[in-house]
Amino acid sequence: MASRLLLRPWPFPWLLALRYLKSTRRDAFASFLAAVAGLGIALGVAALILSLAVISGFQEALRGELLSRTPEILIDLPPGADAEAARAAVAGVVGVRSARLEVRGSGWIVDGGKVQPVELVGFEGPVPAFFPGAAGKAPGLYLPEGLATRWGIRPGETLDVVSPKPTLAPFGGPVPRVRSLPLAGTYTSGKTQDERERIGLPREVAESLLGRTNRKIEVTAGGLDAALAAAPDLAAALAPVAPGSVVRTWQDLNRPLLFALRLEKTLTFVAVFLIVLVATLALVASLSLVIASKRAEIGMLGAMGATGKTLERAFRTLGGLIAGIGLLLGGTGGVVAAWVLDHYKLLPVPGRVYFLDYVPFLVQGGDLAWVLLLTFALALLASTWAARRAAALDPLEAIHR
Amino acid sequence: MSVAVEARGVSKAYRDGARTVEVLRGASLSVAAGEIVAIVGPSGSGKSTFLHLLGGLDKADAGEIRIGGELLDGLSAARLAAFRNRTIGFVFQFHQLLPDFTALENVMLPGRIAGRPPAEVHERARDLLAEVGLSGRFDHFPNQLSGGERQRVAICRALALDPPLLLADEPTGNLDPATADQVFELLLELQSRHRTTAVLVTHNPEIAGRCARIARLDGGILEPDREVFGLPRDEEPRGAGAELEPPE
């Protein structure tokens, strides 16, 4: 069957590249190297997609976990500010769903001989959303599940909450403030090792322990993005009523962790991209071999009037085609593998140790675009480098070698 | 269509390590439009080099070459490539067909490089191959063709864009005598039919003798052109050339 390639109205470099891509298969060495280059790129792209997907998957899960324990927006009120007026100002901002006063501070809980330093969170009304597992329950003392289990305390039993803030007693000098409270319930703690245990208790109790100095407003806006959008308006609304207030969103509150997650992803990208880098070197080798084995033909094309630019373009296109096939294979393979691994939960992990019972994969459009674009750009750059050699061939020398 | 070729005082030397080899020393040649000239001379006399200089494949150290009035020296690499594409058809000793392209496609290449419409290029290639009796070989790859057939395809490719100048470097040097004769006959026939100016390099005296004129290259100097029209085909052209040798 006669090929109709040369009858197609495509630019000449494309015709040459397409024919060489096809004919390369007949040359054992050239086809081997081209396959190595193409498969190397496919492998690199698939590895990039999968490793970024697993990081994204974990990050997404971790973020969900983490953010469920973090207020959407937390406002620190300056000492002496009118908390009620500030709360009213905050509640009036468009997008704000709820604004509740809160008191935070350090303290201890004591049960018999056991002492644990904790962060006291005094909240108003029902338990807020950042105590997962207990959210919405009636006010009272709430402990992390782990701590309650370790100490063997059940709801209903009484614990002492101690504040470092002393009360001056008429006799005997400063006395620490202590309140005895029955345990109302527990919440699931996702705390990392060096994070302090957090206990929840009604605001009045917390204020009696900590005083009225460390007051905050916890604001919900009905979502992470909504919270980010509302934050600037909150600062503006607070300026006249409580100047010196500090508005912190979930992003500000978790900045070190979010930064670490992003850094982890970036470093993984760089490390795995080395596979692609090696594959593009194979691409250079492959193109160089094709060019070396076709010296006489390239020379003849030059004698027939093909310019150096035309030849360069042809071999760059050939490199682009090999890389494109690799990208297509690797891209499809990576995305499909990520979907299958995630959907069928094929990689289990112990759920008691981690907060997940399988390895999640999440392919993000932006990541995919970066992987494909960067790989293709690098492949084109490498191809251009190799193709320059074809362009630089002296037709005469090439014909007579 | 044809063009006149004018070469004046062309010199060319190659550096071989510390040694400089002078190949051409002020060679001059003028070829009238439509004329066919054979350049003869012993091996290593610089025949091929001279032909390559005429074709703009190489640059002369001194002297000037004009093809159809155009001074080759003044052209940039890209313009020279376009000029070669438009003006010159090359035939080399070894056919230099592209093995990845069929006979028909090989003949289509110059047209596609020039950016001509594919249908027109295709038509022209078919006509040319038919003209040299290769109608049945369109879709054969070079390795499926005999030596004579390959060289015929190479000639068709050289004439694909109807160039006004044909340059042939030992076009039959790689063929057996009978095939060489056929192929050369064909070359002459096509040259006269297409009224192409032709310069060919050969060391085959019989073939040189069948050209309108012979120029002899020896010691890097091309003899002043001499009319050898009417030279009997069976006469030894070496004699004709010998008369042109410079006084020692």
**Does the pLDDT of residue B231 top 60, yes or no?**
no
Mean of the per-residue pLDDT values of chain B: 82
* Helix axes of A255-293 and A295-303: crossing angle, nearest 10 degrees: 80
**Does the pLDDT of residue A354 top 70, yes or no?**
no
**Does the pLDDT of residue A363 top 90, yes or no?**
yes
Closest partner residue to A6 among B58, B112, B157, by Cβ? B112
Paired residues of A142 in beta bridges: A185, A200
pLDDT value of residue B245? 39
Q: Which residue of A has its CA nearest to B89?
A: A304
- State the count of interchain CB pairs (< 8 A) between A and B: 84
Mean of the per-residue pLDDT values of chain A: 87
pLDDT value of residue B243? 39
Q: What is the residue whose two structure tokens read 């070197």?
A: A281
When pLDDT is cut at 50, 70 and 90, the band that residue B230 belongs to is very low
Which secondary structure element, helix H or strand E, spans residue B207, and what is its range? helix B205-209
Query: pLDDT for B36-85, tens place per residue?
Result: 888 888 777 888 888 889 888 888 888 889 888 888 888 888 888 888 88
Average pLDDT over residues A331-336: 96
Distance CA B197, CA B191 (A): 7
H helices present in A24-161, as ranges: 28-67, 83-91, 145-151
Q: Does B115 touch chain A (CB under 8 A)?
A: yes
Strands B88-91 and B165-169: parallel
pLDDT value of residue A385? 93
Q: Which residue of B has its CA nearest to A26?
A: B100
User: Looking at this protein, which amino acid is placed at residue B7?
Assistant: A
When pLDDT is cut at 50, 70 and 90, the band that residue A176 belongs to is confident
Task: Please give the CATH topology (third level) of the domain spanning B5-94+145-243.
Answer: Rossmann fold (3.40.50)
The 10 Å Cβ neighbour count of residue A54 is: 19
pLDDT value of residue A50? 95
Q: Which residue of A has its CA nearest to B77?
A: A307
Assess contact for A218 and A250: CB atoms under 8 A: no
Contact list, A301 vs chain B (CB under 8 Å): 98, 109, 113
Mark yes or no for CB contact A307/B109 under 8 Å: no
Mark yes or no for CB contact A304/B90 under 8 Å: yes
Q: Which residue of B has its CA nearest to A7?
A: B118
Residue A314 tokens read as 């042809």
Parse chain A into domains and list their residue ranges. 11-65+258-400, 73-249
Looking at chain A, how many residues does it have? 401
Distance CA B23, CA A306 (A): 28
Q: Does A8 touch chain B (CB under 8 A)?
A: yes
The residue among A72, A153, A61, A170 whose CA lies nearest residue A114 is: A153
Assess contact for B112 and B121: CB atoms under 8 A: yes
Assess contact for B246 and B224: CB atoms under 8 A: no
Distance from CA of A376 to the nearest CA of B (A): 27
The residue among A123, A81, A76 whose CA lies nearest residue A98 is: A123
CA dihedral A316, A319, A324, A329 (to 10 degrees): 180
Q: Does B118 touch chain A (CB under 8 A)?
A: yes
Q: Which residue of B has its CA nearest to A21?
A: B100
The per-residue b/e assignment along B211-225, b for 16 or more CB within 10 angstroms, e otherwise, is bbbbbbbbebbbbeb
Query: pLDDT for B140-177, tens place per residue?
Result: 999 999 988 998 999 999 989 889 999 998 888 888 88
The residue among A100, A85, A86, A195 whose CA lies nearest residue A139 is: A100
Q: Which residue of B has its CA nearest to A25?
A: B100
Distance CA A310, CA A388 (A): 11
**Does the pLDDT of residue A387 top 50, yes or no?**
yes
Mark yes or no for CB contact A297/B81 under 8 Å: no
Q: Does B47 touch chain A (CB under 8 A)?
A: no
When pLDDT is cut at 50, 70 and 90, the band that residue A318 belongs to is very high
Residue A15 tokens read as 């015709």
For residue A329, report the phi and psi dihedrals to the nearest 5 degrees: -60, -50
**Does the pLDDT of residue B235 top 50, yes or no?**
no
Contact list, A303 vs chain B (CB under 8 Å): 55, 57, 84, 90, 96
Per-residue DSSP letter, B200 = E
Q: Does B121 touch chain A (CB under 8 A)?
A: yes
Q: Does A184 touch chain B (CB under 8 A)?
A: no
Assess contact for A139 and A125: CB atoms under 8 A: yes
pLDDT value of residue A319? 94
pLDDT value of residue A243? 87
Average pLDDT over residues A181-189: 87
Per the model's pLDDT, the better-predicted residue between B107 and B205 turns out to be B107
**Does the pLDDT of residue A68 top 90, yes or no?**
no
Mark yes or no for CB contact A304/B109 under 8 Å: yes
Strands B197-201 and B36-40: parallel
Q: Does A300 touch chain B (CB under 8 A)?
A: yes
Paired residues of A159 in beta bridges: A181
**Does the pLDDT of residue A191 top 90, yes or no?**
no
Distance CA A325, CA A340 (A): 22
pLDDT value of residue B232? 36
When pLDDT is cut at 50, 70 and 90, the band that residue A209 belongs to is confident
Distance CA A224, CA A306 (A): 59
